[in-house]
């Protein structure tokens, strides 16, 4: 893409995922880490009710009901919560608000690809820190040399696409290494066994934690994400939001999000189910000869010592099973596989068993 009408920045931006969201159904879709279970039935009831009342009117620009529901759940106050149209939008606003500085932003070399996209979009220079052996993050690698300054730090915990989680003590160490810049912890997958940094918010004015309702609340289709932190950070995000779109969340999303957060029993049941399917999936993949990284997320990251990952991903696609393969150096021999229902996991394993057979 190039045109004299575009900003040169646009030429470097690669559209995300269009090929990963095929229009054909009937596929076993384990490529974008959605929850395999539908949202709580209360969500549909709440959306239906909201649709019957007042769609001709703008939604609450503050999304107060939803922010209050999130805050209550986390033991925070509404003014500690910022909501957006998916956590992607929340991340974009956070990058805009906090990281556009003359110094670089620190992040792992292997992490959520959108961090680099936002850096390019906003002219932020990214300084990547290589993950260590086993694709593990070592907080000690995030220290500053004398005289060095950074715009901030962003990490996903658990990391994506590895699924490896960091203990809270490591996050605390990161916060202490960078007391004067924002440390953004993206906890998109934390409900599947990770440790949340939310309890640290009261003590660390530089901590911003980002969550989504797309994964553990099964609401990827409704687009709800949020950030929590001390009020000065939330106020900064609100300024950015108001300059882009005063009403990022519509009435249906607000109503559906509140209902999803309300149904704690459903949330517990589905997340336990996903975690237990993950344990079964890991064992079955290991039986097939895969090496699987320890996952605290709703996906696993696995490689086979004898089979090429791109070939396996293509083979799975021809069996109607979608998984994610990254062409990025260091991880090109891995497959990222979302944890599906037991039936979806069986379909994946059967297809893999065939592909791994001699002549398969
Ligand atoms: N952060 C991470 C680490 C992710 O993997 C994703 C999902 N692709 C997101 C944020 C964005 O999720 P959403 O916009 O659906 O909230």
The HSE-up count of residue 265 (CA atoms within 13 Å, CB side) is 2
Cβ–ligand 1 contact at 88 (below 6 Å): yes
Q: 3-state class of 291 per DSSP?
A: strand
Q: Do residues 207 and 185 lie in contact, with contact meaning Cβ atoms separated by under 8 Å?
A: yes
> Is the beta carbon of 225 within 6 A of some atom in ligand 1?
yes
Residue 242 scores a pLDDT above 70: yes
Q: Is the pLDDT of residue 83 over 80?
A: yes
**What's the average model confidence in pLDDT over 269-273?**
98
Query: How is residue 96 written in tokens?
Result: 């805009």
Q: Residue 358's pLDDT is what?
A: 82
Q: Copy the structure tokens of residue 158.
A: 């658990």
Gap from CA of 5 to ligand 1 centroid (Å)? 31
At 3-27, the pLDDT tens digits run 677 777 777 776 556 666 665 567 9
Query: For residue 209, what is the DSSP state?
Result: E
Q: Which atom of ligand 1 is nearest to the CA of 161?
A: 5
Backbone angles phi, psi at 13, to 5 degrees: -85, 130
Q: Which atom of ligand 1 is the closest one to the Cα of 88?
A: 14
Give me the pLDDT at residue 26, please. Answer: 78
Return the best residue to mutate from 214, 218, 227 for the ligand 1 pocket (most ligand atoms within 8 A of CB): 214
ipTM (interface predicted TM) = 0.99
Rounded CA-CA distance 340/316 in Å is: 15
The CA-atom distances, in angstroms, between 137 and each of 12, 68, 126, 163, 347 are 28, 34, 17, 11, 33
| Whether residue 175 has its Cβ less than 6 Å from ligand 1 | no
CA 147 to ligand 1 center in whole angstroms:
34
Please tell me the distance between residue 360's alpha carbon and the centre of ligand 1 in angstroms.
34
322, β-bridge pairs: 29
CB of 188 closer than 6 angstroms to any ligand 1 atom: yes
Backbone angles phi, psi at 112, to 5 degrees: -65, 125
**pTM reported for the whole predicted model:** 0.96
CA of 286 to the centre of ligand 1 (A): 27
- Round to whole Å and give the CA distance between 238 and 232: 10
CATH of domain 8-37+271-356: 3.90.1150.10
Three-class DSSP labels, 186-204: ECCCHHHCCCCCHHHHHHC
Two tokens at 212?
Answer: 């989504």
Q: Whose CA is nearest to atom 12 of ligand 1?
A: 87
Q: Does domain 41-264 have CATH number 3.40.50.300?
A: no
Q: What is the pLDDT of residues 148-187, one digit of tens each?
A: 999 999 999 999 999 999 999 999 999 999 999 999 999 9
| Residues β-bridged to residue 302 | 292, 335
Residues 303-321: what's their mean pLDDT? 97
Q: Of 227, 254, 231, 247, nearest to 96 (Cα)? A: 227
Residue intervals in the chain for CATH 3.40.640.10: 41-264
Integer Cα distance of 74 and 77 in angstroms: 9
């Amino acid at each position: 893409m190039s045109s004299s009408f575009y900003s040169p920045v646009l030429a470097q931006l690669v559209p995300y995922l269009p090929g990963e969201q095929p229009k054909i159904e009937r596929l076993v879709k384990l490529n974008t880490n959605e929850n395999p279970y539908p949202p709580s039935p209360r969500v549909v009831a709440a959306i239906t009710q909201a649709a019957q009342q007042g769609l001709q009117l703008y939604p609450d620009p503050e999304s107060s009901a939803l922010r209050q529901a999130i805050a209550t759940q986390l033991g925070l106050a509404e003014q500690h919560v910022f909501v957006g149209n998916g956590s992607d939008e929340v991340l974009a606003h956070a990058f805009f608000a906090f990281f556009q500085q003359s110094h670089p932003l620190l992040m792992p070399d292997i992490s959520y690809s959108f961090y680099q996209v936002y850096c390019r979009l906003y002219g932020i220079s990214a300084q990547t820190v290589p993950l260590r052996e086993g694709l593990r993050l070592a907080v000690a690698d995030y220290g500053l040399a004398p005289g060095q300054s950074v715009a901030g730090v962003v990490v996903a915990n658990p990391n994506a696409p590895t699924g490896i989680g960091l203990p809270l003590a490591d996050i605390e160490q990161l916060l202490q290494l960078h007391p004067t810049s924002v440390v953004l912890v993206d906890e998109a997958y934390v409900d599947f066994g990770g440790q949340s940094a939310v309890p640290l918010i009261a003590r660390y004015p530089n901590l911003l934690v980002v969550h989504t309702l797309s994964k553990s609340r099964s609401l990827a289709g409704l687009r709800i994400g949020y950030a929590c932190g001390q009020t000065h950070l939330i106020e900064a995000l609100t300024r950015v939001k108001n300059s882009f779109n005063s009403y990022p969340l519509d009435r249906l999303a607000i109503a559906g999000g509140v209902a999803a957060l309300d149904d704690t029993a459903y949330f517990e049941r589905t997340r336990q189910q996903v975690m237990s399917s993950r344990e079964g999936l890991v064992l079955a993949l290991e039986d097939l000869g895969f090496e699987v990284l320890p996952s605290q997320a709703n996906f696993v990251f696995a490689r086979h010592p004898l089979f090429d990952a791109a070939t396996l991903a293509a083979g799975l696609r021809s069996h109607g099973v979608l998984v994610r393969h990254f062409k990025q150096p260091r991880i090109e021999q891995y497959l990222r596989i979302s944890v599906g229902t037991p039936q979806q996991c069986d379909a994946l394993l059967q297809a893999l068993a065939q592909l791994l057979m001699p002549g398969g």
